[in-house]
Amino acid sequence: MSAVSRFARKSMVVTGAAQGIGKQVAIDAAGEGARVTLVDRSPLVETVAAEIAASGGQAVSFVADLETWESNLGAMKTAHKAYGAIDVLVTNVGGAIWMKPFQHFDEQQIAAEVQRSLFPTLWGCRAALPHMLEQGRGAIVNVSSVATKGVNRVPYSAAKAAVNGLTAALAFELGTKNIRVNAVAPGGTTAPPRAVLRNASAPNDEERAWGKEVVAQTIESSHMKRYGLLREMSAAILFLASDAASYITGTVLPVGGGDQG
C-alpha cells in the first residue's frame, strides 16, 4: 500500500482493465485504497482482480462487451452493488483497430472504430450518471488520445475527438452538481505485448508499413521523442480522478511528451 492514499475507500470503475493503461490504473488506484470494479470483455480481467485482492486490495470484476448499453448498465450495477457508490469512473476502452490511410477503410471498418472508441465512453458516462447524481458527487476521467491529430487512423481520431467533445459538454452540464468530467489524451505508450489483440488478423506487408508510419509520426510529434510509460498515463488519470483536481473540469490533458494532439 502506498504512503499516499488519495482514494481510500472510494469506489472506482475502470473499463478495459485486463491489460495496458486500464490495468495499470486499476492496480495503482487499488494501491491507494480504492475499491475497484474492473470491467473488460476479456476474462483475463478476473486474473487482474484476483492479483489486486491477493496483494491486499479490494477488487471485483465484470466481464462484458461495453459496446452495448446493457453491458454498461450491468457494469455500474455491479460496482454499486459491491461498494454502494461510484465515486470515480475511468472510461478506458478504446484503441485503433486498423492503421491505414483513410481511403482504405471500408464502411464496416469505420463503424467498428467508432463502436470501439466512442460508444463505450458515451454509454459508460450515461450509465454512471444516475449513481453520481444521486450521491451528489463523482469524477469521470475519459481516456482519449493525442491521435486526434495523427496519421493512418482517421476513424479512431474522429471517435477520440468526439470523446473530447462529450467531456467538455458533460462537464459544462454537470458543473454545479459536484461531478467533474475530464479526459487524458495519452501519446504513444510502451506496454508489454498485448494478450488481447485489437485486431486478431496478422497484418500484411503494406499494413505493417502503415503501422510503422504511425510509430514514426508518434515519436516525431512528441517533443521528447519517445513513447510514454503506463505509469505516466496512470499518474495523469489518477490526478484528474483525485480531489487534488477539485477545481478542474472539462479539460483534456495531453500526456504525450509535448504532443498536444
Ligand X SMILES: NC(=O)c1ccc[n+]([C@@H]2O[C@H](COP(=O)([O-])OP(=O)(O)OC[C@H]3O[C@@H](n4cnc5c(N)ncnc54)[C@H](O)[C@@H]3O)[C@@H](O)[C@H]2O)c1
Catalytic sites, residue numbers: 156
Number of other residues whose CB lies within 10 A of the CB of residue 35? 22
Query: Is the Cβ–Cβ distance between 183 and 148 less than 8 Å?
Result: no
Among 31, 47, 51, 65, binds ligand X (CB under 6 A): 65
- Please, which residue, 33 or 236, has the CB nearer to ligand X? 236
Strands 179-186 and 252-255: parallel
| CB of residue 84 to ligand X, shortest distance in Å | 24
Residues 6+ apart with CB under 8 A from 144: 160, 163, 164, 167, 183, 184, 185, 186, 252, 261
Instruction: Please report how many Cα atoms fall inside a 13 Å half-sphere around the Cα of residue 148, on the Cβ side.
Output: 24
Considering the rule CB under 6 A, would residue 143 count as an interface residue with ligand X?
yes
Residue number of the CB closest to ligand X reads 20
| CB of residue 231 to ligand X, shortest distance in Å | 12
- Please, which residue, 86 or 93, has the CB nearer to ligand X? 93
Considering the rule CB under 6 A, would residue 12 count as an interface residue with ligand X?
no
Considering the rule CB under 6 A, would residue 49 count as an interface residue with ligand X?
no
CA distance 153 to 150: 7
Considering the rule CB under 6 A, would residue 95 count as an interface residue with ligand X?
yes
C-alpha cell at position 64: 462484458
Among 28, 32, 40, 259, binds ligand X (CB under 6 A): 40
Binding site for ligand X (CB under 6 A): 16, 18-22, 40-42, 65-67, 92-95, 116-117, 120, 143, 145, 147, 186, 188-189, 194, 196, 198
